[in-house]
Chain A
Amino acid sequence: MATLFIDNAPYQVKEGKNLLEACLSLGFDLPYFCWHPAMGSVGACRQCAVKSFRDEEDTRGKLVMSCMEPVRDQARISIQDAEAVGFRAGIIEWLMTNHPHDCAVCDEGGSCHLQDMTVMTGHNYRRFRFNKRTYRNQDLGPFLNHEMNRCIHCYRCIRFYKDYAGGKDLDAMGAHNHVYFGRSEDGVLENEFSGNLAEVCPTGVFTDKSLKQHYTRKWDMTHAPSLCQGCAMGCNIIASERYGELRQISSRFNGEVNGYFICDRGRFGYEFVNSEDRIREIGVKGKPEIKDRDSLLRTAAARIREGSVLGIGSPRASLESNFALRKLVGEDNFYHGVADTEFDLVNLTLRILKEGTVRTPTLPEIESADAILILGEDLINTAPRMVLALRQAVRRGPGEALSARMNVPLWQDAAIRQAIQQDKAPLFSITPYPVRQDELATKSLYESPDDISRIGFAIAHAIDPDVTEIKRLSDEERMWTAHMAAVLLRAERPLIISGYGAGSEAVIKSAADVAWALKKSGKDVRLSLTVPECNSMGLAMMGGHRLESALDAVAHGHADTVIILENDLYRRAEKTLVDEFLQKSRHVILLDQVYHQTAEEADVIIPAGTFAEADGTLISGEGRAQRFYQVFVPDGPVQESWRWLQQLAEACGNRTLSHLRILDDFVLEIAKTCPQFEGIEHIAPPSDFRIGAQKIARQPHRYSGRTAKEAHIQVSERKPPSDEDSPLSFTMEGYHGIPPSAVVPFFWAPGWNSIQSINKYQIEVGGPLHDGDPGRRLIEPGDAHTPVFFAEQAAPFPIRPDCLYLIPQYAIFGTEEFSVHSPGIASRSPAAAITVARADADSWGLRDGDLLEFQFNGQEYKLAIQTNQQYPRGMGTLPIGLKGVPFMDLPGWIRLKPVERS
């Protein structure tokens, strides 16, 4: 610790940080623009100037940029010094010379960092008597608006987009005071993290286009702490609503999970909540008169009691909802609504994490890995946020080395970046086809899943001879495995990544073997295994049977009534099987949020709340239990699935859930009865938590129009809904200070209206949040013991004539079930086609766009192909889950129909 004198008062601060961070962490209001806690300092805006004094005697001092100066013991600075105050106001005055006075019509207004900083510096009188600079804006695609006239040239956009996120289509053009931040021409911003620009930009140049369709000021929205349901990363988000419509998703800082940033699927994939495809009403086939909850419950209960029932749980439903279903139908009748292959992969993953010796990494741990091996995983499409973390990781090693050599702190972003040039820490990526992370890799290999696992096992063997030696490796494979093993052994914090993406248990096992072998040799290694959906891990931990068995149970008459929880079975099993299953079931009761093919076949449809209308707990791929909260109470019968199921159980006369009424009851019951979930009761404060006898307000204290906004329906104000499930209130009444970290509905502090107010919620700038980052890890490896390696001899991938090994492929935009309901996301979906090696297509006489006819599991299919020169021979990929692509439980061999050769 160092003693820093600020305006002659001593403070204890951490050495090594910069003065700006130190001042902000101490709670001082010091304006800034170009500095960003995750991106470091470049000293471009010159806004954060303070006076620095040599010693006590020095009365003149000199202006320094606080973001550029490291904290030194006994340093003396002044924030209040008249010259510093005047200079900071001067900078704002300069920035405002060309900034339009359009706050009233600007989307950023009310959550604008520039507004806040302008007020903070006290600049309010205009001396600039000239016309303002103007620019032409660009159409940047479905996610972001562009309004360059508002630009203050802080360079944050390209520093995030280009430097931090690796984007290739946004840059600074031109020079002097006419620099233009944009693309080379109109067009979609391609980077998967582009949406963060709306938060990174300190003013209204880049704003959320989806918000614009139903624009509301930040202060006029109801907010809730929520979780992204787009994949299993568990990114923390803020969901915001007005007039019963979900209007915006923004990132919610969690230092252990997503930091400051989320991906575009997470930010823009929310529109299904407002979609016309939503299930909002109760539907009972043949009984249109049943519209209200009570009659529905009576009808459904009668049907459930009629026969023998089975329940199909869901990896996208909360722990509470799955638990409620399992209780309702009984443990023996609880099945997982996931494809059988996925069931096996996720259960294997869970077993490896639980019984193995290596921990899963948190986000900061991923960012600090110094050697990385990725086996089989196309991460941008299966765990997008991880790619952003890896991008920081590969810079970190070289950055730290240079930081030491040059004696320049790591947060000196520009200096470190210029010195690093293109150097990277080792990252090896072995995948079935070219992937985004290749641009981070020091070496990429494209192999079939079989061969990936063989290479993985061979690396493990090279690290630890106890792992079975893999025979028949090619010379090149042998060379690379030896090299990769040596690099991993040289590292201090190696990271192994694999997961469900390649659809191969062997690949996951080989990743585990590498990690375990490294652990055995004393390395501080981490193992990250992706799983597909937001609660895949929670469902696997809960336990249950395979979907195949559910189909069997109905086929063999062991069950005839089916309750399907938040699931479209046509995405889980092949069509003929699901058709048969649903036809044979006497009653099909579906609880879900959006209409889909299964809903069309269901006899009873029960409208379930989306994440915006429900509370619940999810377990992320990391094994972290986190809570999400309802943002608003929807009109009509929509409510949480767990609540429906509890009421359904009651109506059936099933008393197992009688004592569970509110969310807390479920949470406590799960923690009590399922030891694997012990601890989830502590991840967030209980519903009776109060601060000064107050609940935490979901609405900002400036929320307007409550008494008037429904005046066209009724002039007297409706009683606001109460929330018995959480410590949050649905109104502006309540506590507006800094609540426990798990229940922060939005970030705001006096004078800090924008998302930059996160600073005030952190113990020190950059995190963690006050009282710790939310969530609790439930899976920790067992006590150190000798691992039992998986590796066994396997033959190299065989290329079979007239057959193709088809593996699933995923797309950040397109293969996720709900997010494609956002038109912007849908517009960025890839083509519904099989991709194969060009040489294979040539050998069949096929070209891009030609149709490939094939058989799989006895069914005939016909799909377009596209070719890629870098694909391994004998293998193809298909984006499963994409519109227009029939479900197939891949991977598997498909038999090609003979192509007519002319």
Chain B
Amino acid sequence: MDIDTREIRFSAERLAEVYEIIGRYPEGRQKSALLPVLHIAQAEFDNWLSPEVMDYVADLLGIQPIEVYEVASFYTMFNLKPVGKYVLEVCRTGPCCLVGAEKLQSHLETKLGIKPGETTPDGMFTLKTVECLAACGFGPVMQVGATYYERLTPEKADELLEQFRKENKRATYC
């Protein structure tokens, strides 16, 4: 669905979740719910945070929109631009590189015909290089949605791509 034409509003169920989260903090400290609620919002609205979505979150938490923007732009997990259905987050940090992460990345680049930060024309995959995912003993690591794929080889990666194509669902963190 096109984000621009859709009304940005959580379902009743999601809203209850948001209010439960707000309830975790003392009165007046509802801003603390920002990160968890942004995660929910991102998962709910096509896996990225449009200004409208961030404004909505600001409104829910009773804070200024700019307080949301500054936070969303600080953390790497929040996508501020539209992304593909599967965001392939390849770890590029030292330990993974020692065991072949660079090879994995260039394989994916060639295979998908995109550079990190880009999305395939069919809107299926976005390639993203990320810093250490804290799974260094099981590298090379790639995160897709909530799942860590560990000890990857180019061959295993190809299988995964096929699997994703078949599933054809949006993979989100939560």
A and B touch in the complex (CB under 8 A): yes
Q: A169 vs B55: C-alpha distance in the bound complex, in angstroms?
A: 13
Q: B69, A173: Cβ atoms under 8 Å?
A: yes
Q: B51, A175: Cβ atoms under 8 Å?
A: no
Which one of B64, B65, B73, B74 has the greatest number of beta carbons of chain A within 10 Å? Answer: B73
Task: List A residues 472-497 near B (Cβ within 8 Å).
Answer: none
Interface assignment of A843: CB less than 8 Å from any CB of chain B: no
Q: B64, A173: Cβ atoms under 8 Å?
A: no
CB proximity of B10 to chain A, nearest CB, Å: 22
Q: B73, A168: Cβ atoms under 8 Å?
A: no
Interface assignment of B70: CB less than 8 Å from any CB of chain A: yes
Among residues of A, the one whose C-beta sits closest to the C-beta of B76 is A175
Q: A183, B66: Cβ atoms under 8 Å?
A: yes
Q: A168, B28: Cβ atoms under 8 Å?
A: no
Given the known inter-chain contacts A184-B51, A422-B28, please indicate yes or no for A170 contacting B66, CB distance below 8 A. yes
Task: List B residues 49-98 near A (Cβ within 8 Å).
Answer: 51, 64-67, 69-70, 73-74
Among residues of A, the one whose C-beta sits closest to the C-beta of B74 is A175
Given the known inter-chain contacts A173-B69, A184-B51, please indicate yes or no for A168 contacting B74, CB distance below 8 A. no
CB proximity of A314 to chain B, nearest CB, Å: 42
* B111-155 interface code vs A (CB 8 A; 1 in, 0 out): 000000000000000000000000000000000000000000000
Q: A171, B28: Cβ atoms under 8 Å?
A: no
Q: B66, A171: Cβ atoms under 8 Å?
A: yes
Among residues of A, the one whose C-beta sits closest to the C-beta of B28 is A422
Task: List A residues 164-188 near B (Cβ within 8 Å).
Answer: 168-175, 180, 183-185
CB proximity of A732 to chain B, nearest CB, Å: 45
Q: A183 vs B69: C-alpha distance in the bound complex, in angstroms?
A: 9
Among residues of B, the one whose C-beta sits closest to the C-beta of A183 is B66
Among residues of B, the one whose C-beta sits closest to the C-beta of A158 is B70
Q: A151 vs B124: C-alpha distance in the bound complex, in angstroms?
A: 38
Task: List B residues 11-42 near A (Cβ within 8 Å).
Answer: 28-29
Q: A75 vs B51: C-alpha distance in the bound complex, in angstroms?
A: 52
Q: A75 vs B64: C-alpha distance in the bound complex, in angstroms?
A: 44
Given the known inter-chain contacts A168-B64, A422-B28, please indicate yes or no for A174 contacting B69, CB distance below 8 A. no
Chain B residues within an 8 Å CB radius of A173: 69-70, 73-74
CB proximity of B86 to chain A, nearest CB, Å: 25
Q: A184, B28: Cβ atoms under 8 Å?
A: no
Q: Is the interface of A mostly helix, strand, loop or mixed?
A: loop
CB proximity of B35 to chain A, nearest CB, Å: 15
Among residues of B, the one whose C-beta sits closest to the C-beta of A170 is B66
Q: B74, A171: Cβ atoms under 8 Å?
A: no
Number of interchain pairs (Cβ within 8 Å): 27
Chain B residues within an 8 Å CB radius of A185: 51
CB proximity of B22 to chain A, nearest CB, Å: 16
Chain A residues within an 8 Å CB radius of B67: 171
Chain B residues within an 8 Å CB radius of A184: 51, 65-66, 69
Chain B residues within an 8 Å CB radius of A168: 64, 66
CB proximity of B73 to chain A, nearest CB, Å: 4
Among residues of A, the one whose C-beta sits closest to the C-beta of B68 is A184
Q: A172, B70: Cβ atoms under 8 Å?
A: yes
Q: A878 vs B147: C-alpha distance in the bound complex, in angstroms?
A: 61
Q: B51, A174: Cβ atoms under 8 Å?
A: no
Chain B residues within an 8 Å CB radius of A175: 73-74
CB proximity of B69 to chain A, nearest CB, Å: 5
CB proximity of A97 to chain B, nearest CB, Å: 22
Q: A265 vs B79: C-alpha distance in the bound complex, in angstroms?
A: 40
Pick the contact of A174: B28, B64, B74 (CB < 8 A). B74
Q: B66, A169: Cβ atoms under 8 Å?
A: yes
Q: A180 vs B66: C-alpha distance in the bound complex, in angstroms?
A: 13
Pick the contact of A171: B29, B51, B70 (CB < 8 A). B70
Chain A residues within an 8 Å CB radius of B66: 168-171, 183-184
Among residues of A, the one whose C-beta sits closest to the C-beta of B70 is A171
Chain A residues within an 8 Å CB radius of B73: 173-175, 180
Q: A385 vs B123: C-alpha distance in the bound complex, in angstroms?
A: 53
Among residues of A, the one whose C-beta sits closest to the C-beta of B54 is A184
Chain A residues within an 8 Å CB radius of B51: 184-185
CB proximity of B62 to chain A, nearest CB, Å: 11
Among residues of A, the one whose C-beta sits closest to the C-beta of B69 is A184
Q: A168 vs B62: C-alpha distance in the bound complex, in angstroms?
A: 13
Q: A180 vs B28: C-alpha distance in the bound complex, in angstroms?
A: 28
Q: A883 vs B79: C-alpha distance in the bound complex, in angstroms?
A: 46
CB proximity of B56 to chain A, nearest CB, Å: 14
Which one of A168, A173, A422 has the greatest number of beta carbons of chain B within 10 Å? Answer: A173
Chain B residues within an 8 Å CB radius of A180: 73
CB proximity of B68 to chain A, nearest CB, Å: 9
Chain A residues within an 8 Å CB radius of B70: 171-173
Q: A184 vs B53: C-alpha distance in the bound complex, in angstroms?
A: 14
Q: A169 vs B74: C-alpha distance in the bound complex, in angstroms?
A: 17
Among residues of A, the one whose C-beta sits closest to the C-beta of B72 is A173
Chain A residues within an 8 Å CB radius of B74: 173-175
Among residues of A, the one whose C-beta sits closest to the C-beta of B29 is A421
Among residues of B, the one whose C-beta sits closest to the C-beta of A422 is B28
Among residues of A, the one whose C-beta sits closest to the C-beta of B66 is A171
Which one of A171, A175, A183 has the greatest number of beta carbons of chain B within 10 Å? Answer: A171
Chain B residues within an 8 Å CB radius of A422: 28
CB proximity of B38 to chain A, nearest CB, Å: 15
CB proximity of A364 to chain B, nearest CB, Å: 30
Among residues of B, the one whose C-beta sits closest to the C-beta of A162 is B66
CB proximity of A153 to chain B, nearest CB, Å: 14
* A62-106 interface code vs B (CB 8 A; 1 in, 0 out): 000000000000000000000000000000000000000000000
Q: A242 vs B48: C-alpha distance in the bound complex, in angstroms?
A: 52
Q: A184 vs B50: C-alpha distance in the bound complex, in angstroms?
A: 12
Q: A169 vs B70: C-alpha distance in the bound complex, in angstroms?
A: 11
CB proximity of B4 to chain A, nearest CB, Å: 16
Q: A184 vs B51: C-alpha distance in the bound complex, in angstroms?
A: 9
CB proximity of B70 to chain A, nearest CB, Å: 4
Chain A residues within an 8 Å CB radius of B64: 168-169
CB proximity of A553 to chain B, nearest CB, Å: 55
Q: A422 vs B30: C-alpha distance in the bound complex, in angstroms?
A: 12
Q: A437 vs B66: C-alpha distance in the bound complex, in angstroms?
A: 20
Q: A172 vs B70: C-alpha distance in the bound complex, in angstroms?
A: 6
Q: A183 vs B65: C-alpha distance in the bound complex, in angstroms?
A: 10
CB proximity of A171 to chain B, nearest CB, Å: 4
Chain A residues proximal to chain B, CB less than 8 Å = 168-175, 180, 183-185, 421-422
Q: A171-B66, A184-B65, A422-B28 are in contact. List 15 more A-B contacts (CB 8 A).
A: A169-B64, A169-B66, A171-B67, A171-B70, A172-B70, A173-B69, A173-B70, A173-B74, A174-B73, A174-B74, A175-B74, A180-B73, A183-B66, A184-B51, A421-B29
Q: Could you show 11 A-B contacts with beta carbons less than 8 Å apart?
A: A168-B64, A168-B66, A169-B64, A170-B66, A171-B67, A174-B74, A183-B66, A184-B51, A184-B66, A184-B69, A421-B29
Chain B residues proximal to chain A, CB less than 8 Å = 28-29, 51, 64-67, 69-70, 73-74
By Cβ-Cβ distance, the 3 closest A-B pairs, closest first, are: A173-B73, A171-B70, A168-B64
